[in-house]
A = this chain, B = another copy of it.
Amino acid sequence: MLKHWRPGEDTLDKKGTKARLKVRRAALAGLQQELKAAGLPVIVQVEGWGAAGKGTLLKSLIRELDPRFYRVVSTKFPTEEERRWPFLKRHMERIPPAGKILFLDSGWVDELVWDALRGELTGEELDRRLESARVMERQLAAGGYLLVKMFLHIDEATQRDRLDALEDDRDTAWRVSGDDRRQNRNYPRALELFDRCLAATQTDWAPWKVLDGTAGDGMLLAAADWLYERLAGALKCRPAPEPVREEWPLLPMPPLSACPLDGRLDRESYQKKLKECRKRLAKMHNRLYRRRVPLVVVYEGWDAAGKGGNIKRLTSALDPRGCEVQPIASPSPEEAARHYLWRFWTRLPKTGHVAVFDRSWYGRVMVERIEGFCSEADWKRAYDEINQFERELTDAGAVVVKFWVNIDRDTQLARFRDRENDPAKRWKITDEDWRNREKWDQYETAVDEMLARTSTENAPWHVLPSVDKRYARIRAMETVLEAVEKAL
């Protein structure tokens, strides 16, 4: 896209450009209330060469905007700490809420090109990351986000001259990094890499706009025009990505009705096995730390199936400084205003750490599906999105273990009654639990579909019979141990 790109003819004089720019900026400010009313979240990604003028461009775009409606984020190279999570995490965690604009001074493109130039990414790794970026953009767009992408282009000589000029001034010299010089010295290679990144994510619904970094106000006007056009267009009709159904290597899963529930353990064997498992888990956690492998454990299951007690037994054997239980309830207003996977991206464990999700992203295809909290298209799309999300985790080296804690209706009823009769447990049972119980059949259908469509080789489901909670606890610990041992 860049190699054969040529700037268009400038037909306006300097004064005419300035006047048009002023009008355009005012028009952009005028759209803010509409964006808010429409609840449209917008990501404006400004990529480009070092010293191409990204700062000036951003300053121009936000000039008349109200700070309540936007944020500018300058993305630096990932720190050592940030590299302990999947590549996409730091990009996903800053997505804006509905009605707001996020301006990015460089996003993932800059990061990938630098990493590749420094020799820290092989061609194959770059391809995988481009695929990750593509998937992220598709998910965001399908989730209602508008992506506005610009690339600020300058030629090799212009870049060199600008870097020289910056270095000549004491107050701007610090802006020129060794990496900027490296980029300039390797201009043809960097050009090829930029081209590859742009081509990989050039789509009808999120196209790139290449801007001429030498055109001064003409460039600022072109950028403002582009932003206005994309915003106004999306307010009329949000550009949705064409659906792409991926083929997943799914593991065969029997329906719940065919899953046995008769696992039992007597108290004595339980105590013995528990002690043994706890020792093995403590050792395992040390190995995870040392090998820097993150572990994600997902608990889903019927109300009163014994998730809480099961989780407690598992985590109490692990080092609390490297293990966090994430109880997932209904989303906070901050969370509800963003992509539904955002609150999970931000809760992922770093390398060597363990995150245990007490309920999870699978709410999308269970409670949200059944209660109508999302549209049919939303939850139908979610199986793919979730498989993609989990693939990001396992591609980054994580071990993912998913449990459905299973009981039958009678067992649930007995436990509900037990909770109601015990003052110490009464807070655990609510009207909502009784209402959910009435929807048992709907849930069973949803769970069966979920198990069938999201049990992948890299992130398999395990159905835990939990009529005997002791049996379920030991099975859960053993399953985690097996999964980690297999992975290490």
Listed in ascending order, the chain A residues whose CB lies under 8 Å from chain B are 30, 33, 55, 58-59, 62-64, 66-68, 71-72, 74, 79, 81, 103, 105, 170-175, 283, 286-287, 289-290, 308, 311-312, 315-316, 319-322, 324-327, 329, 332-334, 356, 358, 424, 427
Contacts and interface: CB of A to CB of B under 8 A. Distances in A.
Contact of A321 (B30, B66, B74, B316): B74
Nearest to A289: B174
A428 B320 CA distance: 49
B79 A424 contact: no
A321 B72 contact: yes
Contacts of A322: 74
Nearest to A65: B312
B68 A327 contact: yes
B33 A320 contact: no
Contact of A30 (B30, B174, B312, B424): B424
Given A333-B332, A333-B333, A59 B171 contact: no
Contacts of A356: 67
Nearest to A170: B290
Given A30-B424, A170-B290, A67 B321 contact: no
8 contacts: A30-B424, A55-B319, A58-B320, A67-B327, A79-B79, A103-B320, A173-B290, A332-B333
Contacts of A308: 66
B171 A55 contact: no
A320 to B, nearest CB: 4
A358 B69 CA distance: 13
Contacts of A316: 59, 62-63
B71 A324 contact: yes
Contacts of A321: 55, 58, 72, 74, 105
A320 B79 contact: no
A103 B103 CA distance: 36
A321 B424 CA distance: 53
Contacts of A79: 79, 81
A84 to B, nearest CB: 12
Contacts of A315: 67
Of listed A59, A175, A289, A322, residue having the most chain B CB within 10 A: A59
B427 A33 contact: yes
A319 B59 contact: yes
Contacts of A33: 427
A274 to B, nearest CB: 13
Nearest to A33: B427
A69 to B, nearest CB: 9
